[in-house]
Amino acid sequence: MNKYQKFLENKKLVDIPTGFSIDKKQLNNKLIDFQKDCVIWSLKRGRSALFEDCGLGKTFQQLEWSRLVHEETKKPILILAPLSVARQSKQEGKKFNIEVNICESQDDIINGINITNYEKIHKFDTSKFIGIVLDESSCLKSYSSKYRTLLIQLFCKTPYRLCCTATPSPNDFMELGNHAEFLSIMSRSEMLSMFFINDTGDTGTWRLKKHAIKDFWEWVCSWSVLIQKPSNLGYNDNGFILPPIEFHEHIIKSNVKPKNSLGLLAYEAKTLSERRQAKRDSLPLRTDKAAEIINKSKGQWIVWCNLNVESEQLKLKINDSVEVKGSDTEDHKINSAENFVNGSQKVLISKSTIFGFGMNWQHCHNVMFVGLSDSYEEYYQAIRRCWRFGQENKVDVHIISSESEGAIVKNIKKKEEYAQQMIEGMLSAMSPISSKLIRGAEQTITEYNPEIEMELPEWLK
């Protein structure tokens, strides 16, 4: 490498690794090839993010990462996870002979791998941990999230940091910026000023500068990896082929006519208040339809709703069902989830904000939405509790809505189409780079190949 190439190499914007290297033989043999390489890479990085789709084994990878960091440093690790995921992670750990300690407060900490819920973080002295894992780190996506600033401040000096979540929201670069800031790689504002431009007059809308597109994705790949399936990184997809999924849309004709509706045609709610009213007006008919379908069926169901009044009505009408609300006790939430997993509970009725993230429910292949919000992420995550790698059956998703709620369904479908296009764009940009980095190949950085020797003019000599 000549001096000029070395100069260009040094100018490249990448995050410098702060971790340590291990021999592949130190890894748990139950990890498969792409998981092993991701763990080795993330340990060497020190601070990194694994954006892996549902069912690719993020829990196993983060537990193995935690085990090896603890073995290297002999100091405690903390994993933060959504409600009910802690117990699930402990069970996963038993499969791989990794001890996971569930904690309520700092008094419960052991010098090993500890896990607690995000809501309990105020009970811990975060300076005592050598490593932190954010399970379902999408909680960082919102700039105004109550956890975002708190987590960044609490763990800004923690040497080892790992973020694990499904593929990030593709139309929200802020989520990448928030992850980078949590990992102390670059602040969100620095990322925006360096790679983005706002030319719309809307302070919340940013687009990548054309000349910075390649540099941006190379920078993202220096601290994160994005995978929807192993072949994105050049591995074999054996065992990671999703089963078929079928959507059944049930449109309820309501006799309720909104006050501002004119004529005989069905009125479609447009504004937020109109949509809320439309949901309430169609509530009896939607819950009746849900009960009719489920009570005639066999097998387990997860039923998603948006309003407490929806879950209350569904509980009354659906046989062998349990309702889980936000106001319920933690024990009720956890026990209901465990009964659903072990098969003693046929139907679980809840909101995606409670159980929509992190749960492994491949045992169930019947999903029903009796209420939809405009959040595509909540919709996507709720489906992926069941439709994920490891699911052995075709997944049936039923969506029940009234004619007047048509705008909500159209909006979700539009967002779904756009999101998939954006994810494919992200994979196209990141996969070739990540594949080389994760699999250990050396990346060629510079495209400038001079063929003519430069001669200095006499007056410069």
Where residue 111 sits, what CATH number does that domain have?
3.40.50.10810
| 261 and 380 together in one domain | yes
φ, ψ of residue 363 to 5 degrees: the values are -70, -20
In a domain, 451, yes or no: no
Q: Which of 206, 239, 272 is the last residue of a domain?
A: 239
Judgement on whether residues 233 and 251 belong to the same structural domain of the protein:
no
Look at residue 11 in the predicted model and tell me its pLDDT: 46
Q: Is the domain of 154 the same as that of 256?
A: no
pLDDT tens, 80-120? Answer: 998 878 888 999 999 999 999 999 999 999 999 999 999 89
Domain span at residue 373?
245-415
Residue with tokens 């490249």: 12
User: Are 186 and 329 within one domain?
Assistant: no
DSSP code of 373?
-
Pick from 191, 216, 239: which residue ends a domain? 239
Does residue 441 lie within any of the structural domains?
A: no
Q: Are residues 114 and 55 part of one domain?
A: yes
Q: Are 260 and 151 found together in one domain?
A: no
Q: Residues 184-215: pLDDT tens digits?
A: 999 888 998 899 887 665 556 778 888 888 88
| Strand arrangement of the beta sheet that strand 321-323 belongs to | 245-252, 395-402, 366-369, 301-304, 347-350, 321-323
- Provide the H-helix boundaries in 157-241: 173-182, 188-195, 213-221
Residues of the chain with pLDDT under 70: 1-15, 141-145, 167-172, 199-204, 254-276, 405-409, 422, 440-454, 456-461
Residues 351 and 273 in one domain: yes
Task: Establish if 126 belongs to a structural domain.
Answer: yes
- The three-state DSSP-derived secondary structure of 372-396 is CCCCHHHHHHHHHCCCCCCCCCCEE
CATH of the domain at 378: 3.40.50.300
d(CA 428, CA 254): 45
Residues 219 and 361 reside in one and the same domain: no
Number of domains within the chain: 2
Q: Which residue has the tokens 């007006």?
A: 281
Q: Are residues 274 and 167 in the same domain?
A: no
Is residue 385 in some structural domain?
yes
On whether both 228 and 257 belong to a single domain, the answer is: no
Domain closes at, from 219, 239, 259: 239
How much is the pLDDT for 346? Answer: 96
